[in-house]
A and B are shown apart, each in its own frame.
Chain A
Amino acid sequence: MAAAPPRPAPRAGREAPGREIVRAAMAAAGGEQQQQMLTQRLKAAVHYTVGCLCQEVEEDKDVQFSKQSIAAISEITFRQCEIFAKDLEMFARHAKRTTVTTEDVKLLARRSSSLLKYITQKSEELASSNMEQKEKKRKKSSAAKGERTPGEQEAAMTENEDSNMA
């Protein structure tokens, strides 16, 4: 009968933390902890903006929101974002796209006619400001190609006058 060699008992205090560190590193590498941290940061960002917007209503309507009510609105908003996100993703996928567009956002706002009107209006404002940006860029690039704007022509003329005064 051969006796099995006695295994050294794991040294408490020395080895256990080592294992913990490895496990934590693996979890972090797996992205779990990062995900939680991101969620916390996003919740904080939402809470901050909700606080700002409630402050506006406070000043406008001369009321005060309790901290709990602001926290509740913040939590509700955060959770609603999950519903919004999943809907948006499905709308985009339904249209055979991987990028969510303003059309998808408008669909989100369909349940209340006043909300839909407001969002549609905002969407049109965005579209027209985009057109303006494009116009500006087009003018800039055509100016760079040699067509001088009236301002530049004036400057050129002034330079010539100066050289005559030598």
Chain B
Amino acid sequence: MEERGGCAGGFRKDTVDRLLRLHFRDGRTRVNADAQLLMAELLKVFVRAAARAARQAQAEDLNKVDTEQLEKVLPQLLLDF
């Protein structure tokens, strides 16, 4: 397996498509290619925002982020999206 110093830094286009189609109410609803790519970007931003916000919630001098920190930032995160 090729080591790229990490893994793919984002969501795969077809994963995004399947994720969305999983919750569509109408079987005919589709997502066009550009919208899939754009949603992948949006989800990437969402995850990064959650991760970074949790980091900032650390008032103490710890370097470990746990669910406690995540709970503090969750309301604002969901309001922003």
Distance to closest chain A CB from B13 (angstroms): 12
Mostly helix, strand, loop or mixed at chain B's interface?
helix
Any chain B CB within 8 A of the CB of A82?
A: yes
Give which listed residue, B9, B12, B20, B46, contacts A56 with CB less than 8 A. Answer: B9
Looking at chain A's contact residues, the main secondary structure is helix
CA distance A61 to B74 in the complex (A): 20
Residue from A102, A118, A119 whose CB has the most chain B CB atoms within 10 Å = A102
Q: Which residues of B contact A (CB under 8 A)?
A: 6-12, 15, 18-26, 28-32, 34-35, 37-39, 41-48, 50-52, 54-55, 58, 63-67, 69-70, 74, 78-81
Q: Point out residues on A near B: beta carbons under 8 Å.
A: 38-39, 42, 45-46, 48-57, 61-66, 68-69, 72-73, 76-78, 80-82, 84-86, 88-89, 92-93, 98-102, 104-106, 108-109, 111-112, 115, 118-119, 122-123, 126-127, 130
